[in-house]
Structure 1
Amino acid sequence: MPTLGDRIRKLRKQQKMTLEALAGSQLTKGMLSLIENNKANPSMDSLNYIADQLGVDVTELLEEVSVQEFREVLEKAELLFNTKYDELTDEYEQLIDLVEPYVPKLTHGYEAARLLELYSRCISLKDQEYSQSLFKKVATMYEQLNLTTKRADMGRLFAVVPYTNHNYQEALNILLKEREQLELNPLWIDPLSRLDYDYLEAVLYFAVSKHEAAIEKMEKAIEYSNKHKIFKQVDNLYRLATAHFMMAMDEKKIEFYLKKLRAYSEFAEDEDSKTFISYAEIHYLTSFKNLYKEADQIYKEVINESKQNKLFSPFFLLERGKILFGLKQFEEALKQFEEVVIPSVLHHPFDLSIFYEKDAYVALCYLQLGQKEKALEAAHLALDNINKMPDSPYKNFIQETYKKVKGGM
Structure 2
Amino acid sequence: MMTLGKRIRQLRKERNMTLVDLAGDKITKGMLSLIENDKSKPSMETLSHIAKKLDVSIGYLTREGDEEWTRQMLAESDFSHYFSFPFRHIEDNILPYLDRVSQSSKGMDLYNIIRIYYRYKGEHDIADEYTDKIAKFYRSIGIEHLVVRNRLNDAISLMYSQDYREAYNRLVECEAEVTEFKTYDPHLELEYVYLKAIFSVLVDMGECVLLANRVIELSYDMENFKYFFSANMILGYYYGLEGEMEKHGEYEERLKRYLQFNRQEKYELELVDEGHPITVFYVLTEDTKQRAGLYEAYIRKVEGHHEDGTIHSSNMAFYHPLFLLEMAYFKKDYGTVVENYKEGMYIRSAAQHPIDRIIMATRSCVYPLSLYYLGEKTRAREAFSNIEATIEDIKRSVFTKEFNMIRDIIFE
Which residue is equivalent to 2:292?
A: 296
- Residue 268 (structure 1) shift: 4.3
SS in 2 for 1:164: coil
Which residue is equivalent to 1:55?
A: 38
Residues 372, 380 of structure 2: 8 Å contact kept: yes
Q: 2:156 aligned to 157, 160, 178, which one? A: 160
Which residue is equivalent to 1:43?
A: none
Amino acid at match of 1:142: Y
Q: Count residues in correspondence.
A: 360
Higher helix share goes to which structure? Answer: 1
1:197 aligns with 2:192: yes
Alpha-carbon distance change, 302 to 322 in structure 1, aligned in 2, over 3 angstroms: closer
1:270 aligns with 2:253: no
Q: 2:206 aligned to 206, 209, 212, which one? A: 212
1:233 aligns with 2:233: no
Higher deviation after alignment, 160-169 or 396-405: 396-405
Which residue is equivalent to 2:394?
A: 389
1:245 aligns with 2:239: yes
Alpha-carbon distance change, 297 to 56 in structure 1, aligned in 2, over 3 angstroms: farther
- Residue 81 (structure 1) shift: 6.5
Alpha-carbon distance change, 290 to 207 in structure 1, aligned in 2, over 3 angstroms: farther
1:344 aligns with 2:343: no
Unaligned runs of 5+ in 1: 1-5, 16-50
Whole-angstrom CA distance in 1 between matches of 2:394 and 2:268: 29
- Residue 375 (structure 1) shift: 2.2
SS in 2 for 1:343: coil
- Residue 270 (structure 1) shift: 1.9
Whole-angstrom CA distance in 2 between matches of 1:387 and 1:94: 31
Alpha-carbon distance change, 122 to 244 in structure 1, aligned in 2, over 3 angstroms: same
> Alpha-carbon deviations, 1:125-159, whole Å to 9, x = none?
44643222112110121122222332222111322
- Residue 96 (structure 1) shift: 6.9
- Normalising by the residue count of structure 1, what TM-score does the alignment of the two structures yield? 0.70
- Residue 296 (structure 1) shift: 1.8
Whole-angstrom CA distance in 1 between matches of 2:178 and 2:278: 41
Alpha-carbon distance change, 259 to 96 in structure 1, aligned in 2, over 3 angstroms: farther
Which residue is equivalent to 1:25?
A: none
Unaligned runs of 5+ in 2: 11-33, 48-58
- Residue 394 (structure 1) shift: 6.1
- Residue 57 (structure 1) shift: 6.1
- Residue 196 (structure 1) shift: 0.8
Kindly report which structure 2 residues correspond to 1:89-168, keeping only aligned pairs within 5 A, or say none: 94=89, 100=95, 103-104=98-99, 110=105, 112-121=107-116, 124-126=119-121, 128-129=123-124, 130-168=126-164
Whole-angstrom CA distance in 2 between matches of 1:395 and 1:187: 35
Higher relative contact order (CA 8 A, sep 6+): 2
> Alpha-carbon deviations, 1:150-189, whole Å to 9, x = none?
2222111322343333332221111110223343x35655
Whole-angstrom CA distance in 1 between matches of 2:320 and 2:35: 64
Which residue is equivalent to 1:31?
A: none
- Residue 242 (structure 1) shift: 3.6
SS in 2 for 1:328: coil
Higher deviation after alignment, 222-231 or 193-202: 222-231
- Normalising by the residue count of structure 2, what TM-score does the alignment of the two structures yield? 0.70
**What percent of counterpart residues are identical?**
16
Whole-angstrom CA distance in 2 between matches of 1:53 and 1:178: 40
Which residue is equivalent to 1:3?
A: none
Higher deviation after alignment, 156-165 or 139-148: 156-165
SS in 2 for 1:278: coil
CA RMSD of aligned residues (A): 4.2
Whole-angstrom CA distance in 2 between matches of 1:109 and 1:148: 15
Alpha-carbon distance change, 95 to 365 in structure 1, aligned in 2, over 3 angstroms: closer
Which residue is equivalent to 1:354?
A: 359
Which residue is equivalent to 2:370?
A: 365
Which residue is equivalent to 2:331?
A: 327
Which residue is equivalent to 1:35?
A: none
Larger Rg: 1
Amino acid at match of 1:368: Y
Whole-angstrom CA distance in 1 between matches of 2:350 and 2:240: 22
Alpha-carbon distance change, 386 to 285 in structure 1, aligned in 2, over 3 angstroms: closer
Amino acid at match of 1:333: V
Which residue is equivalent to 2:30?
A: none
Alpha-carbon distance change, 327 to 269 in structure 1, aligned in 2, over 3 angstroms: closer
> Alpha-carbon deviations, 1:9-54, whole Å to 9, x = none?
xx8xx99xxxxxxxxxxxxxxxxxxxxxxxxxxxxxxxxxxx9997
Whole-angstrom CA distance in 2 between matches of 1:201 and 1:330: 40
